[in-house]
Amino acid sequence: MASAPGSPVRVRFCPSPTGNPHVGLVRTALFNWAFAKHHQGTLVFRIEDTDAARDSEESYHQLLDSLRWLGFDWDEGPEIGGPHAPYRQSQRMDIYRDVADKLLAAGHAYRCYCSQEELDTRRDAARAAGKPSGYDGHCRDLSTEQVAQYEAQGRTPIVRFRMPDETITFTDLVRGELTFTPENVPDFGIVRANGAPLYTLVNPVDDALMEITHVLRGEDLLSSTPRQIALYKALTELGIAKSTPQFGHLPYVMGEGNKKLSKRDPESSLNLYRERGFLPEGLLNYLSLLGWSLSADQDIFTMDEMVAAFEIADVNPNPARFDLKKCEAINADHIRLLDVKDFTERCAPWLKAPFAPWSPADFDDAKWQAIAPHAQTRLKVLSEITDNVDFLFLPEPVFDEASWAKAMKEGSDALLTTAREKLESADWTSAESLKEAVLAAGETHGLKLGKAQAPVRVAVTGRTVGLPLFESLETLGKEQTLSRIDAALSRLTA
């Protein structure tokens, strides 16, 4: 993405590399990307890997790979660099230490020596008394003697940010005006006792240093916003931040049973969509509808159309429901929109091991090219291609027993015998002629086309559902079609 010189918009996408990428994370990336592109701004990709216990190099690489597969591009980030490098927080520890020291020196932060036990006891007491149960400010103004005493006891302090005793109001780009009163936003930790800086510090510090103008992120992070606004004010005073960004919180994504879609839900795993053969453009089209829409009567659109129309003010603050069926339907539409050549190429991974059950030597590209246009109109996801075309490349069809039982009724042997005769003398360069043959066989036995073609389909492909039958027969060819009908007849009469 080329950023327009002088464009004021700078947004960021800043995941933590913990576990597999999930759809909520992709939705956040998408909205930031679309916002940046719409405003010809700059998208910064930052890795928030300060939690050594949870972050891994493997998920970092998976993240990069997934974002590239989805087709995202960004202007600054790890591996491509930029004016605010490095873009991995694990490589910026000196910066955070320095900012924490400055906040301490200026009195915006203080050392808190309270043990977890003491905090718990006081919290329980406050709760019992019906008072706010957040941090009570115990260490805000310790005397030198108290500090010396705690130090002598061997306590190691955390660093806590001193919240101003004032109400914080801001206008959320999605939700409008929001107000937080001081009793709901207690002083919070920014550096652990072991010296490790926390999300509460590193995220706004980097947003400030990287000159982020708009923070678009999930609603789950809304409670950190008043803290970050207060921290920004302190950073501005210290000359570290230039201004405070605007914030927009994207709606929750709800899964089954109207519960928040969790990272642990299988349908939230991005890898699953990739393995099943969703197109990046189909998946992104669907994810864009989680909180936004192009128009009331157009569900299917390209990412260019989304970028052109995307306004953050149009995002709906209400929770969005994740609907796998709809996601598949939208993907199916995008599969249909591909040109055939593109479609055949994108199917390639599912036409070989480990997905394909046929031996590579039996794969016939001419047959594949002939059947592909018919397959394109039928698939919801690309992985379905394997089962749909296996009859073409396996020496014998894989019989699905339930399909066999359903299609092979009394009289099926007579029907198949007639169909075989008629097919024998049909014109094998025309699917229409093959259809007429089966239609005529059906008439002979008083069966409509649908009933007449079911046993033929199962005999030849092994299943009751599949690609358009007569194009399938034409592609398979006369010899194999007839010998499969013969095999089915022997099985029926055995």
112, 208, 231, 381: which one binds Zn ion (CB under 5 A): 112
The residue among 139 and 452 lying less far from Zn ion, judged by its C-beta, is 139
Among the listed residues 79, 14, 21, 85, the one whose alpha carbon sits nearest the alpha carbon of residue 50 = 14
Least Å from the CB of residue 11 to ligand GLU: 10
Return the one option of ligand GLU, Zn ion, none that residue 351 interacts with (CB less than 5 to 8 A, by type): none
**What is the C-alpha separation between 391 and 468, in angstroms, rounded?**
13
22 binds ligand GLU (CB under 6 A): no
Residue 263 annotated in active site: yes
Choices 8-16, 127-135, 230-238, 439-447; region in contact with ligand GLU by CB under 6 A: 8-16
Which of these ranges, 11-19, 344-352, 363-371, 424-432, lies near ligand GLU under the rule CB under 6 A? Answer: 11-19
Q: Is 191 in the site for Zn ion (CB under 5 A)?
A: no
Closest CA to 109 of 46, 26, 197, 183: 197
Verify binding: residue 16, ligand GLU, rule CB under 6 A. yes
Q: How far is the CB of 224 from ligand GLU (least distance, A)?
A: 7
Task: CB nearer to ligand GLU: give 24 or 455.
Answer: 24
**Residues 216 to 275 in contact with ligand GLU, rule: CB under 6 A:** 217, 221
Binding partner of 112, given Zn ion, ligand GLU, none, CB within 5-8 angstroms per partner class:
Zn ion
| Residue 138 binds Zn ion (CB under 5 A) | yes
Nearer to ligand GLU, 320 or 392 (CB): 320
Q: Does 92 bind ligand GLU (CB under 6 A)?
A: no
- Among positions 139-178, residues that touch Zn ion (CB under 5 A) are 139
By the rule CB under 6 A, 203 interacts with ligand GLU: yes
Give me the catalytic one of 233, 263, 367, 478: 263
- What is the closest distance, in whole angstroms, from the C-beta atom of residue 52 to Zn ion in the complex? 25
Please report whether residue 88 would count as binding ligand GLU according to CB under 6 A. no
Q: Which CB, 110 or 310, lies closer to Zn ion?
A: 110
Q: Which amino acid is at 41?
A: G
Among ligand GLU, Zn ion, none, the one that 390 touches (CB under a kind-dependent 5 to 8 A) is none
Applying CB under 5 A, among 23, 114, 270, 382 the residue interacting with Zn ion is 114
Active site residues: 263
Q: Which residues of this chain interact with ligand GLU, rule CB under 6 A?
A: 14-16, 48, 203, 217, 221
Q: Which residues of this chain interact with Zn ion, rule CB under 5 A?
A: 112, 114, 138-139
